[in-house]
Structure 1
Amino acid sequence: MNIDKITQPFIKTFPGDFSGNPMQRNTPKVLFSIVDPAGFEDPKMIIFNEELSEEIGLGKFEEKDFDFLVGNNLPENVQTYSTAYAGHQFGNWAGQLGDGRAILAGEIKNESGKKTEIQWKGAGATPYSRHADGRAVLRSSVREYLMSEAMFNLGIPTTRALSLAFTGENVIRDMMYSGNPQAEKGAVVIRTAESFLRFGHFELISAQGEYKTLQDLLDFTIKNYFPEITSEGIQKYKDFFKNVSTRIADLMVEWFKVGFVHGVMNTDNMSILGLTIDYGPYSMMDEYDLNFTPNTTDLPGRRYAFGKQGQISQWNLWQLANALHPIIKDEKFLEDTLNAYGDYFWAAHDKMLCQKFGFDTLLESDEEFFTSWQALMQELQLDYTLFFNQLEKLDEENDLKLLFSDISYSFLTKEKYSKIEDFAKKYRLRLEKNRVSKEESIALMSKTNPKFILRNYLLFECIKEINSGKTEILDKLITALKNPYIEIFSEFSQKRPSNYDDIAGCSTLSCSS
Structure 2
Amino acid sequence: MNIDKITQPFIDVFPGDFSENPMQRNTPKVLFSTVNPVGFNNPELIVFNEKLSEEIGLGKFNEVDINFLTATNLPENIKTYATAYAGHQFGNWAGQLGDGRAILAGEITNETGEKNEIQWKGAGATPYSRHADGRAVLRSSVREYLMSEAMHHLGIPTTRALSLSFTGENVVRDIMYSGNPQEEKGAVIIRTAESFLRFGHFELMSAQKEINTLIDLADFTIENYFKDIKSEGEQKYKEFFTEVCKRTADLMVEWFRVGFVHGVMNTDNMSILGLTIDYGPYSMLDEYDLNFTPNTTDLPGRRYAFGKQGQISQWNLWQLANALFPIIKDEKFLEDTLNNYGNYFWETHDQMLCRKFGFDDLKKDDDEFFTNWQALMQELQFDYTLFFNQLEKLDENSDFKTLFSTVSYGFLEDSKVKKLEHFLLSYQLRLKENTVSKEESLNLMRETNPKFILRNYLLYECIEEINNGKTEMLEKLTQALENPYKEVFPEFSVKRPSDYDDVSGCSMLSCSS
TM-score class normalised by the smaller sequence = over 0.9
* Separation in 1, partners of 2:355, 2:426: 17
Q: How does 1:425-440 map to 2 (within 5 A)?
A: 425-440=425-440
Q: Give the aligned partner of residue 205 of structure 1.
A: 205
Please give the per-residue CA displacement for 1:279-312, whole angstroms capped at 9, x wherever unaligned. Answer: 0000000000000000000000000000000000
| 2:196/2:271 contact within 8 Å kept | yes
* Separation in 1, partners of 2:306, 2:87: 21
Q: How does 1:410-429 map to 2 (within 5 A)?
A: 410-429=410-429
Once the 2 structures are TM-superposed, how far is the Cα of residue 72 of structure 1 from its aligned partner? 0.6
* 1:217 counterpart letter in structure 2: L
Q: After TM superposition, what 4+ stretches of structure 1 lie above 6 angstroms from structure 2? A: none
* 1:333 counterpart letter in structure 2: F
Once the 2 structures are TM-superposed, how far is the Cα of residue 19 of structure 1 from its aligned partner? 2.2
| 2:20/2:36 contact within 8 Å kept | no
* 2:129 counterpart letter in structure 1: S
* Separation in 1, partners of 2:341, 2:175: 37
The secondary structure found in structure 2 opposite 1:97 is strand
Is it true that 1:120 corresponds to 2:125 in the alignment? no
Q: Give the aligned partner of residue 472 of structure 2.
A: 472
Please give the per-residue CA displacement for 1:89-121, whole angstroms capped at 9, x wherever unaligned. Answer: 000000000000000000000000111000000
Once the 2 structures are TM-superposed, how far is the Cα of residue 29 of structure 1 from its aligned partner? 1.0
| 1:40/1:168 contact within 8 Å kept | yes
Is it true that 1:510 corresponds to 2:510 in the alignment? yes
Taking only the aligned residue pairs, the percentage that are identical comes to 79
Q: Give the aligned partner of residue 242 of structure 2.
A: 242
Once the 2 structures are TM-superposed, how far is the Cα of residue 17 of structure 1 from its aligned partner? 3.7
| 1:175/1:181 contact within 8 Å kept | yes
Q: Give the aligned partner of residue 221 of structure 2.
A: 221
Q: Give the aligned partner of residue 49 of structure 1.
A: 49
- TM norm structure 2: 1.00
Once the 2 structures are TM-superposed, how far is the Cα of residue 15 of structure 1 from its aligned partner? 2.8
| 2:103/2:119 contact within 8 Å kept | yes
| 1:291/1:307 contact within 8 Å kept | yes
Q: Give the aligned partner of residue 69 of structure 1.
A: 69
Please give the per-residue CA displacement for 1:121-176, whole angstroms capped at 9, x wherever unaligned. Answer: 00000000000000000000000000000000000000000000000010000000
Q: Give the aligned partner of residue 187 of structure 1.
A: 187
* Separation in 2, partners of 1:504, 1:484: 26
| 2:102/2:122 contact within 8 Å kept | yes
Q: Give the aligned partner of residue 364 of structure 1.
A: 364
* Separation in 1, partners of 2:17, 2:227: 28
Report the aligned-residue RMSD. 0.5
Once the 2 structures are TM-superposed, how far is the Cα of residue 233 of structure 1 from its aligned partner? 1.1
Q: Give the aligned partner of residue 444 of structure 1.
A: 444
The secondary structure found in structure 2 opposite 1:84 is strand
* 2:496 counterpart letter in structure 1: R
Q: Give the aligned partner of residue 495 of structure 1.
A: 495
Q: Give the aligned partner of residue 355 of structure 1.
A: 355
Please give the per-residue CA displacement for 1:312-342, whole angstroms capped at 9, x wherever unaligned. Answer: 0000000000000000000000000000000
Once the 2 structures are TM-superposed, how far is the Cα of residue 508 of structure 1 from its aligned partner? 1.1
The secondary structure found in structure 1 opposite 2:168 is strand
Q: How does 1:128-139 map to 2 (within 5 A)?
A: 128-139=128-139
| 1:17/1:34 contact within 8 Å kept | no
* Separation in 2, partners of 1:345, 1:387: 24
* Separation in 1, partners of 2:349, 2:366: 12
Once the 2 structures are TM-superposed, how far is the Cα of residue 32 of structure 1 from its aligned partner? 0.5
The secondary structure found in structure 1 opposite 2:221 is helix
* Separation in 2, partners of 1:266, 1:281: 13
Is it true that 1:171 corresponds to 2:171 in the alignment? yes
Please give the per-residue CA displacement for 1:243-287, whole angstroms capped at 9, x wherever unaligned. Answer: 000000000000000000000000000000000000000000000
* Separation in 2, partners of 1:66, 1:372: 53
Once the 2 structures are TM-superposed, how far is the Cα of residue 20 of structure 1 from its aligned partner? 3.8
Q: Give the aligned partner of residue 288 of structure 1.
A: 288
| 2:122/2:135 contact within 8 Å kept | yes
Size of the aligned set, in residue pairs, is: 513
Please give the per-residue CA displacement for 1:64-98, whole angstroms capped at 9, x wherever unaligned. Answer: 11100000110111000000000000000000000
| 1:52/1:162 contact within 8 Å kept | yes
Is it true that 1:145 corresponds to 2:145 in the alignment? yes
Q: Which ranges in structure 2 are unaligned for 5 or more consecutive residues?
A: none
The secondary structure found in structure 2 opposite 1:447 is helix
Q: How does 1:448-467 map to 2 (within 5 A)?
A: 448-467=448-467
| 1:16/1:29 contact within 8 Å kept | no
Is it true that 1:398 corresponds to 2:398 in the alignment? yes
* Separation in 2, partners of 1:425, 1:507: 33
Please give the per-residue CA displacement for 1:206-259, whole angstroms capped at 9, x wherever unaligned. Answer: 000000100000000000000111111110000000000000000000000000
- TM norm structure 1: 1.00
* Separation in 2, partners of 1:128, 1:232: 34
Q: Which ranges in structure 1 are unaligned for 5 or more consecutive residues?
A: none
